[in-house]
Chains A and B, each alone.
Chain A
Amino acid sequence: MAIIELKNIYKKYGDQSDVIEDFNLSIEQGEFVVFLGPSGCGKSTILRMIMGLESITSGELKIKGKLQNNIPAKHRNIAMVFQNYALYPHMSVFNNIAFGLKVRKTPRKEIKEKVTKVADLLNLTPYLKRKPKNLSGGQMQRVALGRAMVRDTDIFLMDEPLSNLDAKLRTTMREELVQLHRNLSATTIFVTHDQMEAMTMGDKIVILDAGKIQQVGSPDEIYHQPENLFVAEFIGAKKMNLLELTKDERGVTYSNQVIKLPVFEADKEADILGVRAEDCRLSLTEGYPFEITFIEKLGSDQYIHGISDGEKVIVREKPEKTFEVGQQIYFTINEEKIHWFNRETGEKVRPKNG
């Protein structure tokens, strides 16, 4: 059974237009779900509605089968890590972590035991007596996590908890969080606008744009089977190459060469060909014309940027090959790795049986 269910959720602030539109999602016990989307797409809003900090304009939110719409935050028993830590400035680290337990009238001895254990796990033991203002960003981060972890709950909501950390700390915290999730096996919703974070951490990624779900899937599915143009461009170290197709008497063409289209599902039409940089090759003799504009060497790989028939195209190549900016060559496409889209709807167009 799903532990969190969102059905036809809408959210409006005042009389503005909808910030969240027809949001449907169900989350299973123990899942690590990542909400990924550009700034302002409504990630925090959804999280805050689940927590009970924001009213739900319409739709149903169920947790463990029970309708939550009108249940105040304090009775939902969910732990949340806030975007800016929100540590209580006048309390020591110990008391920050202990607050949620004190509120629930936990016996003093038990509080001590639990806080000590969590502090130990997060390497916070030396700082228990300090006030938040005397901690580094990473330490504050861990206190915010500790405050959530110490609670006796099986649902965690985390709103960009790693966004204020430097790159190195972020990577280690990422690993620690995944490890932690394995140990606690609690259901976690993790919000981020960093796709690396989403891809490395999530069991399930929910991609949002402008208050709407664009796609829900595993990191592999999201990367290899994008459902629409937004996801295709948003996910990946390099955005997917999108080639605009034209129609003439010979059929569908790109750069004056006929493209063989598969048979699509019921009367759908594809006019955009999508292909990732790693599914293209450069060639001196055959393919579509390609003029190199920029070479990006990454050690293990190199990305060759170029212009083909007026469109920007990126091709990944082995590092040994040498190219030069300005060179006029060709690129080829691995036909098995093509994604077809319809410009008008922005949706993927599926070939029949496959």
Chain B
Amino acid sequence: MEKATRSERIILFLILAFIGVFMVFPMIWMFLSSLKTTEEVLGSTMTFLPSDPQWSNFSGALELAPFLRYIWNSFSTATVIVLAQLFLSSLLAYALTQMEFRGRNVLFMIILATYMLPAATTYVPSYIIISRMGLMDSLAGVVVSNIVDVFSLFLLRQGFLKVPGELIEAARADGASEWRILWRIVVPTSKNTLINAALISFIGHFNNYLWPSLITNSEENFLISVGLNRFFNSQGAFGQTFPLIMAATVISILPLIIVYFLLQKYFIGAISSSEGIKG
């Protein structure tokens, strides 16, 4: 690419800065609103900063509904789902990339084809299966129905394809079994791909709403997205508790923000691979 001139760069910077502010503004607004009083939020004069930060909104929100419980439910199910997905996808991706068998490519095509199915069409059959398994209204149901994921399989397969064949052959010559080659050679050398897949999947499942809302009924099994939504709906006088709702929302996205700061450097890879660009 040609080097931009100084003025071009300034213009580019301004545009990007504007877009950036535009994108994070709702988040900032949410955070600021969570510290305001109801009057401030609903009053006719709009204020930007809360005149007197209401930190008590947070404890207030936590009293109205078991948000910490919801967050824990989301966090733990997302974690278990991610681990299970990575485990299963690694096994399958290894077979699809490193083992030779008849129909290997056909198998992969069939698996990919299932990715084209709209998720909504799977809800009814999945619902029936989960209920037959006796896993309705349980976190186990949420986990079990999500442990197989075509997208993470696809990502891992792409990653495993990049592992030099000689490494695997060297390990075979060293006497290693396929199981060992997968976990000791292929997975560690594809570490970035695995982290990318894990991040995408974790965020997706932490925020997942529709399917969990269909199979969970009791409050103790709500994921944060489901719990937050019930909370909105149960607070009849919506306006009255707006700052509390904002506080609850801030609490609910906190874990993701922490994950983001811890694993910042992997996010760009995750985002570009989730958009199908070379990761």
Contacts and interface: CB of A to CB of B under 8 A. Distances in A.
Interface in A49-102: 51-53, 72-75, 77-80, 82-84, 86-90, 99-100
A53 B175 contact: no
The B interface is mostly helix, strand or loop, or mixed, namely helix
B166 A86 contact: yes
A53 B172 contact: yes
B174 A99 contact: yes
A73 B172 contact: yes
Interface residues of A, number: 26
Interface string B172-204: 111111001000110011010000000000000
Contacts of A83: 166
B174 to A, nearest CB: 4
Contacts of B176: 74, 99, 103
B130 to A, nearest CB: 39
A104 interface: yes
A339 interface: no
A79 B188 CA distance: 23
A147 interface: yes
A78 B174 CA distance: 8
Contacts of B185: 88
Interface in B9-53: none
B166 A80 contact: no
A82 B171 CA distance: 11
Which of A52, A83, A99 has the most chain B CB atoms inside 10 A of its CB?
A99
A88 B190 CA distance: 12
Interface of B: 164, 166-167, 169-177, 180, 184-185, 188-189, 191
24 contacts: A51-B169, A52-B172, A72-B172, A73-B173, A74-B173, A74-B174, A74-B176, A74-B177, A80-B170, A82-B166, A82-B169, A83-B166, A84-B164, A87-B170, A88-B167, A88-B170, A90-B191, A99-B171, A99-B174, A99-B176, A100-B175, A103-B175, A103-B176, A151-B175
Given A74-B175, A147-B170, 5 more contacts: A53-B172, A86-B170, A90-B188, A103-B176, A103-B180
